[in-house]
């Protein structure tokens, strides 16, 4: 079974530029999550999708972050404009049902200079 795919793995941009991350979850997984993990911190939920509907985006900085899930499968997370404090690893995860057992991708490491 293929795992959660994310790209790019690494991205370096300057502040005020934009960046987009892509995620392809495990086939059949209805729930998709984007987490932000800052160095030394635990993963923090940014947005949660159930199929292609948003379930929770309460911690998403909506003035600069946006996310969508296309046809209930792939998802993109965009940051525009980026700030220095957005430097983090962005983790995508999916789960098939309500077990709490999330399957994570390898993450996309963003460095904002």
Partner 1 sequence: DQQVKQNSPSLSVQEGRISILNCDYTNSMFDYFLWYKKYPAEGPTFLISISSIKDKNEDGRFTVFLNKSAKHLSLHIVPSQPGDSAVYFCAARRFQGGSEKLVFGKGTKLTVNP
Q: Which chain residues interact with partner 1 by CB under 8 A?
A: 4, 31, 40-45, 48, 50, 55-56, 91, 93, 98-107
Nearest approach in angstroms of CB 8 to partner 1 is 14
Nearest alpha-carbon partner for 56 in 64, 45, 65 = 45
Nearer to partner 1, 10 or 27 (CB): 10
Nearest approach in angstroms of CB 105 to partner 1 is 5
Tokens of 105: 């991708």
Q: Per-residue DSSP letters for 9-45?
A: SEEEE-TT--EEEEEE--TT--EEEEEEE-TTS--EE
Nearer to partner 1, 107 or 110 (CB): 107
Nearer to partner 1, 29 or 81 (CB): 29
Nearest approach in angstroms of CB 98 to partner 1 is 5
Q: CA 84 to CA 97: how far, in whole Å?
A: 35
């Amino acid at each position: 079974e293929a795992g959660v795919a994310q790209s790019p793995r690494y991205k370096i941009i300057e502040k005020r530029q934009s960046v987009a991350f892509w995620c392809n979850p495990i086939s059949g997984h209805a729930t998709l999550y984007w987490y932000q993990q800052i160095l030394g911190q635990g993963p923090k939920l940014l947005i949660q999708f159930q199929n292609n509907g948003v379930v929770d985006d309460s911690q998403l900085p909506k003035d600069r972050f946006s996310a969508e899930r296309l046809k209930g499968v792939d998802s993109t997370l965009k940051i525009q404009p980026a700030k220095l404090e957005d430097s983090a690893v962005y983790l995508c995860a999916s789960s098939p049902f309500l077990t709490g057992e999330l399957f994570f991708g390898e993450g996309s490491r963003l460095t904002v200079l």
